[in-house]
């Protein structure tokens, strides 16, 4: 069974031309995929469709055989990690370490496991020096690393 199966997917933003038309493909678990194209070609839009942030105007997206339209964002997020192009759109806690811990606590991890994962991510992404800092005071590169760390701490499958 494919991890993602996209069937005749179409999408248009309100009052705009259709951006994606009858797109069909599968992505197998463990498969490496690169999505390339010029600005405005729909790469980010497709990513948002694949994780349920946007809803298709036509077609169907299956995640491990389940219709994405019938899954909650929490159910999707348990399987798929998504990082916004602009990290400010997903960073919202008062400190770097709290940002990494937020999703873990939301998912019910105990404090010892949360602390272990936070410390691992801080070290791996070289953010230990700014663990207590307000995330918006970080450099753009540090914000990007923080956004990635917060998602990877949850160990998504894709």
DSSP states along 90-135: T--SSSHHHHHHHHHHHTT--HHHHHHHHHHHHHHTT-GGGTTS-G
Residues 69, 94, single domain; the answer is no
Integer Cα distance of 8 and 98 in angstroms = 40
* CA distance from start to end of the chain: 15
Residues 147, 124, single domain; the answer is yes
Number of domains in the chain: 2
Residues 8, 64, single domain; the answer is yes
pLDDT at 111: 97
Please indicate whether residue 11 or residue 1 has the higher confidence score (pLDDT). 11
Residues 73, 17, single domain; the answer is yes
Q: What tens digit of pLDDT does each residue of 54-97 get?
A: 999 999 999 999 999 999 988 998 899 999 989 999 999 999 99
Integer Cα distance of 62 and 3 in angstroms = 8
Last residue of some domain: 45, 77, 109? 77
Last residue of some domain: 51, 77, 103? 77
């Amino acid at each position: 069974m494919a991890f993602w199966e996209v069937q005749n997917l179409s999408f248009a933003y309100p009052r705009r031309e259709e951006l994606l038309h009858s797109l069909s493909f599968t992505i197998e678990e463990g498969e490496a995929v690169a999505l390339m194209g010029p600005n405005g070609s729909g790469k980010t839009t497709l990513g948002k469709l694949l994780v349920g942030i946007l809803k298709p105007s036509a077609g169907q997206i299956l995640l491990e055989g389940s219709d994405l339209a019938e899954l909650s964002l929490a159910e999707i997020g348990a399987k798929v990690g998504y990082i916004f192009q602009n990290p400010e759109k997903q960073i919202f806690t008062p400190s770097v370490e709290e940002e990494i811990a937020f999703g873990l606590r939301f998912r019910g991890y105990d404090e010892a496991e949360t602390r272990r994962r936070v410390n691992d991510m801080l070290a791996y992404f070289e953010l230990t020096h700014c663990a207590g800092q307000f995330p918006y005071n970080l450099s753009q590169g540090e914000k990007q690393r923080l956004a990635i760390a917060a998602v990877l701490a949850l160990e998504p499958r894709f």
